[in-house]
Structure 1
């Protein structure tokens, strides 16, 4: 076999450690980024966190001509100059109210809700009762003893104390400040909406001894209350749906609020965008560290040189991440201004490719920077992915907008004459939106809306107000 030499031209991408880190930082959520920065600060003594400073923010319009930036270019320092933003309402700093820290104590949450309807003295009584409940939501002492203590401490009557306790017992969640599980479950039965045929029998079962109710079979319970076993089984099923620990429902609902990565607001006739300083982390290598290490020259140890490189890569990666996030959001807000102003039916078609072309980056970069990142708008807080909508074939609107139109038409239909899928398609055609009946049926099913025949026989067979 004869050996030969040949030359070939080709391109190959080599991912440097700095570029790999920049790509990884793009896809981190706000919480993951915070943990990443905290670990870096703990392990690398050359890094320092940049604290927020009080200075005039740079407000960014959503419709400027965007410059193209390569991933290996370090963004300018102005990207960080967004510690706050004027929302057009005087001197109130709305940014300070974003996911502001608050107590996660269930009792405090209840008091905050009751503050809107109770007087200060009544609120003090409510606070007294909530101070004397256990983790399940039951009173931690006998009712008589706590009532006497409350009268002495608050100087109010027994009747007022009991009235506030009943307000808590039958409030939301029902069963709070109950004497025992039986009283809590009775309150929850009373709070169930609508007419429930099994409710009276369920209350009757609660009057039985606890051990009998928990261990006896359905036939034994039916004989004890003199009712049909099928009715008793239905009543027991209703009791199983109740919560024996009412305070736990508050704990489950006390998840931390989403902290938006970017905020937008309308001012001076245009939509403006700014990074949220609560979720935009910034670290630097102090100048005196840089100069000291530079003076060491070749004497700098390999370990210290590695830490310096890692610190620089992190600073650059964070800057690239925040610039990419801000510029991506600018394009999205500019394109979806109709949705922000008028609602779901004005959601315009938008793809990753369109945004990528607008800022001169790859679609994969846009996918990473919009996953798990949230934008706070006057209409609520949404994941950036929410603003991408596929264009409906044969129309100039997005599928999300047409789905919202279908929901509006069904919500406003005559109760006695619900609209068929074909009729909805005809009404949309009058608005210039040509879609097939089966497309209407698909959107209706996605909205969890029953067909017309079922809506006619059961007017309450409507649906989830989903997305």
Structure 2
């Protein structure tokens, strides 16, 4: 019996061309990475010329005169193309040692089905530096309209990888994943999933009563939970204590109006070499023309990718300015709720495009330098304020409290309610922990 058969099959496949991959790569680069990438591209492609015209320096000097707060940074007044102006990035290139690379390597060894593997790799790229999946990234995942069964299966696969706890959506899930990996008792798992705020306040009695166990068992579980790692991804982070960034976008007041200014002052101006362009037309050697034709195609595609990156980043920043104008104008320190998917619909692009545009980029304004993702703060409830706004109000209440009689989480929830913010006590405890604030007992100062 022959094992070789012939059959006709009609199917649709989506394949990413090298050019499209390059465009996606350029889109998600910040200004520092892009400057290095363009330097390497100009060395590898003779048709690309990188210039640093003096007009860039004069334009940046004018911007600094219009916005004096630009001089507040540690590297203010420096110019990327000047001798020695670029700070060292670090001792080693850790790209191959990153958490995402470590997760991809594990996934490739599991021989998963292609759709599941592709989704798992996509999720691995979304995991943040602490090893968590943020609500904003999961929101963009929902917009892909994937089968829920496939999404759940991919999340389960990701959370089964090392380090234990990776891929969790919050602290409780991260601890539960580690406890299950260790084969811990059910009481420890229940406490980590349901009673972390109470455990932090050492309310052993209520926890023991709710779970039907003794206070001694709760204390034993506390020791186990205290030995877990709440940040499983940090082991893959560089050891440098200080991270220097260059903002990709400025929000400055020019001629009495707030405007978006892209930080192109640190990037070389890329152009096509006139000499090699003329050689392409005049050369009689077929191999030379074929080589230069391919390099010309690559150069034009790179220039197009740079133009699309700048256009997308500008549109994204202008939408952020429009939505958060009171913040940038100094009228409030609270952000208006803003979603990645809503901005994607407004700009007519896929949510993943907005996610790549915002990832790893920074915006500098009069108030300071912020990650671009900072301005995408989800609303609490259907039409409530943003999470950032609630955290800001919570921080103000704690700062104004009587240090001898600090406010409990329940009291903080009641005070927020009088301001029109309806949140549960557990939510207050969660936001308090994210702000690095201790419990009322820990904050009490005699």
TM-score range, shorter chain: 0.5 to 0.7
Which residue of structure 2 lines up, in the alignment, with residue 400 of structure 1?
A: 388
Which residue of structure 1 lines up, in the alignment, with residue 31 of structure 2?
A: 30
Which residue of structure 2 lines up, in the alignment, with residue 261 of structure 1?
A: 248
Which residue of structure 1 lines up, in the alignment, with residue 293 of structure 2?
A: 305
Query: Which aligned pairs between 1:358-397 and structure 2 lie closer than 5 A?
Result: 358-397=346-385
Residues 85 and 274, structure 1, Cα contact 8 Å, conserved in 2: no
In structure 1, distance between residues paired with 2:417 and 2:381? 14
Which residue of structure 2 lines up, in the alignment, with residue 315 of structure 1?
A: 303
Could you give the per-residue CA deviations for residues 171-212 of structure 1, whole angstroms, max 9, x where no partner exists?
Answer: xxxxxxxxxxxxxxxxxxxxxxxxxxxxxxxxxxxxxxxxxx
Residues 312 and 357, structure 2, Cα contact 8 Å, conserved in 1: yes
After superposition, the Cα gap between the structure-2 partners of 1:330 and 1:397, relative to the gap in structure 1 and judged at 3 Å, is same
Query: Which aligned pairs between 1:84-163 and structure 2 lie closer than 5 A?
Result: 86=63, 89=66, 97=76
Which residue of structure 2 lines up, in the alignment, with residue 15 of structure 1?
A: 16
The SS at the match of 1:54 is helix
Query: Structure 1, unaligned stretches of length 5 or more?
Result: 58-81, 106-251, 460-467
Query: Which aligned pairs between 1:175-190 and structure 2 lie closer than 5 A?
Result: none
In structure 1, distance between residues paired with 2:38 and 2:52? 13
Q: CA offset at residue 370 of structure 1? A: 1.0
Could you give the per-residue CA deviations for residues 129-160 of structure 1, whole angstroms, max 9, x where no partner exists?
Answer: xxxxxxxxxxxxxxxxxxxxxxxxxxxxxxxx
Which residue of structure 2 lines up, in the alignment, with residue 331 of structure 1?
A: 319
In structure 1, distance between residues paired with 2:56 and 2:413? 54
After superposition, the Cα gap between the structure-2 partners of 1:6 and 1:309, relative to the gap in structure 1 and judged at 3 Å, is closer
Which residue of structure 1 lines up, in the alignment, with residue 49 of structure 2?
A: 48
In structure 2, distance between residues paired with 1:373 and 1:90? 20
Which residue of structure 1 lines up, in the alignment, with residue 227 of structure 2?
A: none
Q: CA offset at residue 405 of structure 1? A: 0.6
The SS at the match of 2:55 is coil
In structure 2, distance between residues paired with 1:328 and 1:371? 12
The SS at the match of 2:377 is coil
Q: Structure 2 length normalisation: TM-score?
A: 0.55
Residues 425 and 440, structure 1, Cα contact 8 Å, conserved in 2: yes
After superposition, the Cα gap between the structure-2 partners of 1:454 and 1:93, relative to the gap in structure 1 and judged at 3 Å, is closer
Query: Structure 2, unaligned stretches of length 5 or more?
Result: 1-6, 89-239
Q: 1:277 aligns with which of 264, 270, 284?
A: 264
In structure 1, distance between residues paired with 2:18 and 2:87? 41
CA RMSD after TM alignment = 3.6
Query: Which aligned pairs between 1:172-251 and structure 2 lie closer than 5 A?
Result: none
The SS at the match of 1:284 is strand
In structure 1, distance between residues paired with 2:391 and 2:260? 28
In structure 2, distance between residues paired with 1:451 and 1:403? 15
The SS at the match of 1:265 is strand
Q: Structure 1 length normalisation: TM-score?
A: 0.53
Residues 83 and 276, structure 1, Cα contact 8 Å, conserved in 2: no
In structure 2, distance between residues paired with 1:361 and 1:414? 49
Q: 2:433 aligns with which of 422, 435, 445?
A: 445
After superposition, the Cα gap between the structure-2 partners of 1:382 and 1:313, relative to the gap in structure 1 and judged at 3 Å, is same
Residues 344 and 401, structure 1, Cα contact 8 Å, conserved in 2: no
Residues 339 and 347, structure 1, Cα contact 8 Å, conserved in 2: yes
Residues 264 and 375, structure 1, Cα contact 8 Å, conserved in 2: yes
Q: CA offset at residue 344 of structure 1? A: 7.3
Residues 27 and 357, structure 2, Cα contact 8 Å, conserved in 1: yes
